[in-house]
């Protein structure tokens, strides 16, 4: 692994189903983030984690949950998917002290029907 990986690359999901998007980084970055990107809108922060064991809510947290059991992994769970959660989801990470520059994974394209 080099950088940040996300899985799956894309997914079509029925409304009401539970779904976990996976994110793994091997850069030993302490901070990780989940964003959604919708056409015509800027990236919007869903949840973040400044360090393993801690998480925080971003701008649009409703309907999503996260956990940070270790430094490398930061999964995002949709407990009961709804069509408005159709979006492209990006995971990012940063190392405090480098101007906190965020580095992004390749994204997951999620469609909820």
58 lies in the site for another protein, by CB under 8 A: yes
Q: Token pair for residue 20? A: 């976990």
Single out the residue of 90, 93, 110, 112 in contact with another protein (rule: CB under 8 A): 90
Single out the residue of 102, 110, 112, 113 in contact with another protein (rule: CB under 8 A): 102
Distance between CA 18 and CA 16 in Å, rounded?
7
97 lies in the site for another protein, by CB under 8 A: no
100 lies in the site for another protein, by CB under 8 A: yes
DSSP 8-state class, residue 110: E
Q: Token pair for residue 48? A: 């973040």
CB closer to another protein, 12 vs 79: 12
């Amino acid at each position: 692994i080099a950088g940040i990986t996300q899985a799956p690359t894309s997914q079509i999901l029925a409304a009401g189903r539970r779904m976990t998007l996976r994110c793994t980084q091997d850069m030993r970055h302490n901070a990780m983030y989940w964003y959604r990107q919708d056409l015509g809108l800027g990236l919007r922060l869903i949840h973040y984690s400044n360090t393993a064991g801690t998480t925080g809510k971003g701008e649009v947290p409703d309907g999503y949950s996260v956990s940070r059991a270790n430094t490398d992994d930061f999964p995002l769970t949709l407990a009961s998917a709804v069509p408005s959660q159709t979006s492209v989801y990006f995971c990012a990470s940063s190392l405090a002290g480098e101007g906190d520059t965020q580095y992004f994974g390749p994204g997951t394209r999620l469609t909820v029907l």
